[in-house]
Structure 1
């Protein structure tokens, strides 16, 4: 994956008059970032004997690369490669969310829907037919799922990889009862997307779960990264950088199946 990341990393010009300390290799720093993402270890406890550098160095590089759009461009690049390999199906998509505990204050956090005395955040995810993540949004834990339905559709990037117009919108969208609102159904149709949303007040067994289960599997894969199970970051951009990187890693694992 480093072959794909390296061209995206901004080049830092060396200072010749006052060079200072030698800059740590970008690939080593990336390994440190991935180590924190996988294990959930605090930055200050990052083992320097493994060659990752200090935790603060990795944190700053994660911040700088996020501001330069490296993680988002990596995600889009891998989506394009998946489309080239015919492993992407935008005939339908599914959306869902998951609540995580936020140990510190910051934006966006909010009261937990199950324990108002604790703060939390929500990961809102949209996936294609096979569960490949297309976009994510992080909100406070008290935000209603349906309010993020339109932002999720708009957050899907143009997916290239083949000749012609890039793909941007799925043809069908599946969601559970938490998204049941006629106003938002009409808004979804304006994107030329057909909504399939379970109705409240009816018995279970609508049949939509056959298509919706993939998004629950993707959320479980995201939370397999220990840094995403509990939110430790105060800054929302740092947390979102981890989420985007996690989505890129899920795409990379799918892509490896075709290589």
Structure 2
């Protein structure tokens, strides 16, 4: 059963050839790449802190270190280049729905009982309530 933020078998087969060998040059056995990759995807899609990764992805430090290592050695770049080459759409197009709240005074709100003059109020005329 595939979970919401985890790779399907077809997606995994497409990405697997671009990942480094699972036999490290030194040290012990590496945790499964697919499990770690699913942890990275979960973290980037949900925005949770690394320390709050669910246990099913393994130790959060392992997932974080593998993410950083793959960034440094170009693994992410190779995967992205492959995926862009196989898609019909432009993956560099992004939609940003960020909402930034303005301070109430920046929006022309009343200040200390007086309203700021707006661009359509002629100079020298009093703002409402200043007569």
Q: TM-score, normalised by structure 2?
A: 0.57
Contact 2:40–2:67 at 8 Å: present in 1 too?
yes
Q: Which has the higher strand share?
A: 1
Q: Deviations over 1:172-207 (max 9, x none)?
A: xxxxxxxxxxxxxxxxxxxxxxxxxxxxxxxxxxxx
Q: 2:2 matched to 1:5?
A: no
Unaligned stretches of 5+ in structure 1?
A: 89-131, 135-214, 224-259
Are the structure 2 counterparts of residues 79 and 14 from structure 1 closer, same or farther at C-alpha, using a change threshold of 3 Å?
Answer: closer
**Aligned to 2:15, what secondary structure does the other structure show?**
helix
Are the structure 2 counterparts of residues 19 and 77 from structure 1 closer, same or farther at C-alpha, using a change threshold of 3 Å?
Answer: closer
CA RMSD between the two structures:
2.4
Unaligned stretches of 5+ in structure 2?
A: 1-10, 99-131
Matches within 5 A, 1:1-259: 1-14=11-24, 20=28, 22-48=29-55, 51-82=56-87, 87-88=88-89, 132-134=90-92, 215=93, 218-220=94-96
Are the structure 2 counterparts of residues 56 and 220 from structure 1 closer, same or farther at C-alpha, using a change threshold of 3 Å?
Answer: same
Deviation at 1:42, TM superposition (A): 0.7
Are the structure 2 counterparts of residues 27 and 72 from structure 1 closer, same or farther at C-alpha, using a change threshold of 3 Å?
Answer: same
Contact 1:4–1:74 at 8 Å: present in 2 too?
no
**Aligned to 2:84, what secondary structure does the other structure show?**
helix
**Aligned to 1:133, what secondary structure does the other structure show?**
coil
Larger RCO: 1 or 2 (CA < 8 Å, sep 6+) = 1
2:127 corresponding residue in structure 1: none
CA distance in 1: counterparts of 2:39 and 2:45, whole angstroms: 10
Contact 2:53–2:60 at 8 Å: present in 1 too?
yes
1:159 corresponding residue in structure 2: none
Larger Rg: 2
Deviation at 1:12, TM superposition (A): 4.0
Contact 1:36–1:46 at 8 Å: present in 2 too?
yes
Q: Deviations over 1:13-71 (max 9, x none)?
A: 357xx964x421000001100110111111111121xx201111111111111122121
Contact 1:10–1:68 at 8 Å: present in 2 too?
no
CA distance in 1: counterparts of 2:43 and 2:57, whole angstroms: 10
**Aligned to 1:4, what secondary structure does the other structure show?**
helix
Report the count of equivalent residues: 88
> Runs in 1 of length 4+ with deviation above 4 angstroms?
none
